[in-house]
Amino acid sequence: MSIFNSPTLRLFSLIVLLVFSISESLAGAGARLRGQVLDQSGAAVAGAVVHLSSRDGLRWSTITDENGAYSFAQLPAGEYLIEVEARNFNRQVESLRLNSQEDRALNVTLRVAAVAEQVVVTAAGTAQSVDEISKSVSLIDSQQIEHRNELSISESLRLTPGLRVQQLGGPASFTAIKTRGLRNQDTAILIDGLRFRDAASTQGDATSLIEDLLFVNTDRLEVLRGSGSSLYGTNAIGGVINIITDEGGGPTHGQMQIEGGSLGLMRSRAKLAGGLGRDRFRYSAGLAHLNLVNGVDGDDAARNTSGQGFAQYSFTPLITLSGRIFTGDSFLQLNDSPFAAPASNLPAAGPIPAIPLALDQQRLREAGKPFTLGNATFIPALNDPDNSREARFFSGALALTQRLNEAASYRISYQGVATSRAFRDGPGGVRFESPFSNLSRFDGRIDTLNARADLQLGRFNLFSAGYEFEREYYANVTRDENPDPTQRADALTRIRQRSHTIFAQNQLRLLDNRFQLSAAARVQTFALSQPEFVGGAPQYRGVRVGAPPTAYTGDGSVSYFFATTSTKLRAHVGNGYRAPSPFERFGTSFFFGSFSPFGDPRLRPDRSVAFDTGIDQTLAGGRVRASATYFYTQLQEVIVFDLSGFADDPFGRFIGYRNTGGSLARGVELSFTAAPIHTLDLSASYTYTNSDQRAPSVAGFLKTFGISDHMFTLAINQQIARRVNVVFDLFAAGQYAVPFFASGGNRAFIFDGPVKADLGVSYTLPVSGDRHIRFYGKVDNVFDRTYFENGFRAPGAIFVGGLTFRF
């Protein structure tokens, strides 16, 4: 199914043509904003990037000339946020209001010793400064990611308060993100504000593809912690991660990067961006390739080629058409899942300390030779030489934005997401291997059309409302190479679902923007077509299926900023939901030539309610920023995979998905950011989480699996003599529990949490003008700590070195 042949995309194209037919008559002279970007001594700052954002989502960008000058022309009247950033300076944000045909001069002074100010769009779906946000939001920009030399989006998020990033093995291995003590599927992933998820994954979320999201051409990451379902729909129960693409603009600029290191790692990345016609056309494009030859056990090869790009054309200052793509193609060699040691090595009752089989004995076990179990209570992931995963994804979006007048604008967007994952396994390996090769392929497709209008109801009230149509497609193909044609598996499952959504939000700003009040609501209805089954899953044939029930979500937040003390108080409450995925409703397992049903067509959605409140404090003239947040989330009803067995199941299942009571997660997030001198940036955070199951899957054990009570992060960025930069970061987590099947049922195994420190050093060599070469080296896990994530062995100390040429 090609995205480019989608009826939804054709409808979007027709709307664009109709708008363009009347666009010239709506263009006007508009206002003008101009000025200089200066440093604290009054000298001009050339090459500074200047962004101008309207409250309703329009955005312009330019780069200052050799005199530090910038200019924006033909601007509609209204309120704006101007954001200025430059190398060796901290980002500066100011708010302003332009009247019709006004010619405003505004000089911006950048500081070298201050906590960077930020403009955030994820908290409310519109542009806000940090002081205006009434929710808990973190931002990681591309400069921070490059200083830390992170390979992927997930590793870039590791230091975010309240987030637990788990990578099951080395680079490019399966990765999961948990927010505030909740599950993997409770965090929504967005690309430029649009949902990114895999319709064919187990929970219908993005978890199946997180490891494939490389750092390619990303401008920044915005992380909303707390309920986001009223703004972003399904899966946003615990939080939202928004991957924002670099929008380019200014003179042509770019970079080329190459590096290599331990585990047979090689990475290359190239990026080009700029603007034409005084930035009437803006573009950016990036390409990255990661090649891992060996991996943790020497047989964990991985490859990933990804591209990310953006283009925007302004037909008039009031009408823009933008397009964006993010695509990837990856391959990964897989291992078997970890498992419990024999019952003779385990205590009779209670939680079990997770003691791994010694590495030398694990290698004997993998070779099929006699080995000594010792006091091990679990066997780490064993090598499986012919087990692999291939994955491809494509996310493409088009967006038309028009400002009708000072008080009204609209945005129409289309996004198509196509995903494909293929799992291949054969007789190789030492544990429960099939006698012949088999294939399971999961294909997903989601088309989303969104129309949104923003109305400025007076100077202080912004009302937004819209409609969203979404269509998703799920296909599962299962085949094997059984030499007996009569026993050969060749099964196909197809499922199609549609949904219609209406949403609204009202934002009120009073007392010179110090008081912020926001309320949002969302209603989503579903329509499910009759599934198709060919060759397998006979238990579901003829079953009359109904659509998931209508989802109703609401959200409210409030904040007040005390300007005299630079103190902000905030609170946020909302409910959330996650619609049952096609796999949870109709999924099957294929094992040793036979199918077993897992899904239940009658499943109800996950439901939740969440609340958080906090205080943000800026000190020392903007050099220090501290934050404290209390959070509470109750999962009222959830979908779980039950291994205990079913009685009188209508689909003949022994194990599978069902609804049950959820869990309760509450805790505290503390964070601290400081720039005490212009060459030093510090940040630290501590998160305490108490997450308990209301319906435990292991008798007598209430703690939620995979969640540590305590997490701590630290990051230090020190510049030495302008050309040398040293970066140190640390992530540490307390003990957590993992369920393994043992002694006829699940048992809780207690693992020590990871303590991972990274150290990087770089030297920047000027070449000419804006051209320079950055040489760098980095050691991941610099203390060479041995730890396991859910029973998968993590790499020890890894060295990476390389260079980046910027122009």
State the sign of the Cα–Cα–Cα–Cα dihedral 717, 718, 723, 724. negative
113 and 124 housed in the same domain: no
- Residue 352, in any domain of the structure: no
Is 48 inside any structural domain? yes
For 734, other C-beta atoms within 10 Å of its C-beta total 15
Distant-in-sequence, close-in-space partners of 725: CB < 8 Å, separation ≥ 6? 147, 717, 718, 719, 761, 762, 763, 764
- Any domain includes 516: yes
* Distance from chain centroid for Cα 268: 22
Strand 567-578 with 551-562, pairing:
antiparallel
Contact, 431 vs 368, CB < 8 A?
A: no
pLDDT for residue 9 = 63
- 10-residue mean pLDDT profile of the chain (807 residues): values are 59 57 52 92 89 83 89 86 86 88 92 77 86 93 95 98 97 97 97 97 97 97 96 95 95 96 97 92 98 94 98 92 98 96 94 97 94 97 96 98 91 98 93 87 98 93 96 94 83 94 96 94 94 75 81 97 95 96 88 76 95 96 95 96 82 88 96 93 98 89 96 97 95 97 90 98 93 97 97 97 97
What confidence score (pLDDT) does residue 25 get?
45
Q: How many C-alpha atoms does 265 have within 13 Å on its Cβ side?
A: 22
CB proximity list for 156: less than 8 A, separation 6 or greater? 140, 144, 145, 148, 150, 215, 221
* Contacting residues for 618 by C-beta, under 8 A, at least 6 apart: 115, 566, 567, 624, 625
Clarify whether residues 393 and 426 are in a common domain.
yes
**Alpha carbon distance 129, 568 (integer Å):** 12
Residue 264 lies inside a defined structural domain of this protein:
yes
Q: Give the pairing of strands 663-677 and 187-191.
A: unpaired
Q: Looking at the structure, do residues 417 and 472 belong to the same domain, yes or no?
A: yes
- Number of domains observed in the structure of the chain: 2
Task: Quote the CA–CA distance of 307 and 290 in Å, as a whole number.
Answer: 12
Q: Does residue 152 come out as left (phi exceeding 0), alpha (psi in the -120 to 50 range) or beta?
A: beta
Exposure b/e, 352-362, CB count within 10 A at least 16 = b: bebebbbeebb
What CATH number is given to the structural domain containing 134? Answer: 2.40.170.20
pLDDT at 5: 60
Same domain, 70 and 200: no
Dihedral over alpha carbons 131, 132, 135, 140 (to 10 degrees): -60
- Distant-in-sequence, close-in-space partners of 102: CB < 8 Å, separation ≥ 6: 31, 32, 77
Report residue 434 as tokens: 């099939």
From 254, 251, 245, select the one nearest 308 (Cα to Cα).
Answer: 245
Residues 10 and 60 in one domain: no
Does 431 fall in a domain?
yes
User: Which residue, 71, 100, 117, sits at the end of a domain?
Assistant: 117
Phi, psi of 365 (to 5 degrees): -60, -40
354 is a domain residue: no
Owner of token pair 């056309």: 281
pLDDT value for 592? 61
Q: What is the predicted pLDDT for the residue at 484?
A: 85
Domain closes at, from 92, 117, 142? 117
Whether 392 and 465 share a structural domain: yes
Q: Which residues contact 656 (CB under 8 A, 6 or more apart)?
A: 597, 598, 599, 600, 641, 642, 646, 649
Q: Across the strands, what pairs with 444?
A: 419, 474
Q: In terms of domains, do 736 and 608 share one?
A: yes
Residue 544 contacts residue 513 (beta carbons within 8 Å): no
- Give the domain extent around 226: 3-23+120-338+380-806
Residue with tokens 């637990």: 164
Residue 529 C-beta-side C-alpha neighbours within 13 Å: 13
Cβ partners under 8 Å of residue 377, min gap 6: 340, 341, 345, 346, 352, 353, 354, 355, 749
**SS3 of the chain: helix, strand, coil, percent, to 5:** 10, 55, 35
Contacts of 367 (CB under 8 A, 6+ apart): none
Tokens standing for 622?
A: 């903007």
Same domain, 419 and 448: yes
143 lies in some domain: yes
| H or E element at residue 712 | strand 710-720
> Which tokens in the block code for residue 652?
């003949």
Residue linked to tokens 């066997």: 379
Is the torsion defined by CA of 646, 651, 655, 657 positive or negative?
A: negative
Q: For residues 126 and 132, is the Cβ–Cβ distance under 8 A? A: no
- Could you tell me the two tokens for 484? 């007996």
- Residue 804's pLDDT is 98
Judgement on whether residues 203 and 66 belong to the same structural domain of the protein: no
Distance CA 88, CA 109 (A): 13
Q: Cα(first)–Cα(last) distance of the chain, in Å?
A: 40
Rounded CA separation 93/77 (Å): 19
* Same-domain pairing of 41 and 179: no
In one-letter notation, the amino acid at residue 84 is: V
| Amino acid 538: pLDDT | 58
DSSP per-residue string spanning 464-511: EEEEEEEEEEEEEEEEE--SSGGG--EEEEEEEEEEEEEEEEEEEEET
Tokens of 608: 């939740």
How many CB atoms neighbour CB 528 within 10 A? Answer: 17
| Shared domain check, 135 and 112 | no
pLDDT at position 564:
93
Integer-rounded Cα Rg, in Å, for the chain is: 27
Same domain for 652 and 611:
yes
Point out the domain boundary residue: 90, 117, 144.
Answer: 117
Sequence-distant (≥ 6) Cβ neighbours of residue 567 within 8 angstroms: 561, 615, 616, 617, 618
Residue labelled with tokens 């238990």: 539
Q: Which phi and psi (to 5°) does residue 561 adopt?
A: -110, 120
Q: Give every CB contact of residue 113 below 8 A, 6+ residues apart in sequence.
A: 90, 623, 675, 676, 677, 678
What element of type H or E holds 240? strand 239-245
Q: Which residues pair with 598 in a beta bridge?
A: none
Does 435 reside within a domain?
A: yes
CB-CB contact of 53 with 127 (8 Å):
yes
